[in-house]
Amino acid sequence: MTPSAALVLALILACIRPALADPLLAVPYADLAARLDGRITFDTLPAGPEPGLSLDHPVQVDGAAVGAGFAGQQHAIRQAGSGARYDRLARARAQAPLRLVGQGPGQGLAFAHHRGFGSVAVFPLGPDGFKALSGRGEGALAVLLPGDQAAVGLRIHSDYPDPLGARPARPGTVEVIALSSDGRVIGRHGARLGAGITELGLVRAEGQADIAGFVLLNTDPGGIAVDDIVFQRAALLGNLLTAPGPARRMNAKRGTRTR
């Protein structure tokens, strides 16, 4: 190898080493959707209009389960300069075994028909809660997967497209925190959202299957909705859900709670 060729190779390796060291690598969502045989669509849940159905406890759906957090995690509030409030994790590590837990009234998840997706989607409820428009979409979404995974993907809706540029730019970000079955944080991946639907695919850097679940956080000014979470189907890890208290349906017009 000539000295110049050796220098080029050294420069290439220097560029790719940081990516290889990242435990989570971004890949096209479409590639994962074509290869993985599991998909959470939420279409088995009531398809009412927004604000929809508010649930304070974890929900099993499409072979997996969703909630607002895992046992052992410590939730906190992130306040933006605009005054908007979002969920964040002061402690991301969870207890073993990894299991979903319920949140307080109006602090879990909302499900409703979403016109951007054209189907039922999940809205993670933030600190302002279900009754406030500013609380729907600003929260944490926790997903418990059926068995350890090497790859996951999801579709996230933020602001609607604005082709005429009539509205000011509304940048938002998301963070995915992947966790192992014993609650250990495997890695974190951040991404910037675009208007409309952002598709996100993640794989383990070395192909190992050890992602038992993940938490999705966001700082989007308008909040987010999530649909079409893809994964590989496998035997469930057992009954890892806790469901304290009955589900509650919220009246969309008056904001009252009914059993």
For residue 27, list its beta bridge partners. 201
pTM, whole model, 2 decimals?
Answer: 0.81
| Contact present, 136 and 110 (Cβ < 8 Å) | yes
pLDDT at 245 over 60: no
pLDDT at 253 over 50: no
* The predicted structure's pLDDT at residue 195: 84
| Contact present, 53 and 112 (Cβ < 8 Å) | yes
Q: Which has the higher per-residue pLDDT, 222 or 74?
A: 74
**Selection from 155, 139, 146, 119 nearest residue 55 by Cα:** 139
- Pairing mode of beta strands 64-67, 74-79: unpaired
pLDDT tens-digit readout, 207-235: 999 999 999 999 998 899 999 999 999 64
**Residue 199: φ, ψ to 5°:** -100, 135
Token pair recorded at residue 167: 């509205």
For residue 112, list its beta bridge partners. 121
* The predicted structure's pLDDT at residue 235: 41
pLDDT at 65 over 80: yes
The most distant pair of C-alpha atoms in the chain lies apart, rounded to whole Å, by 76
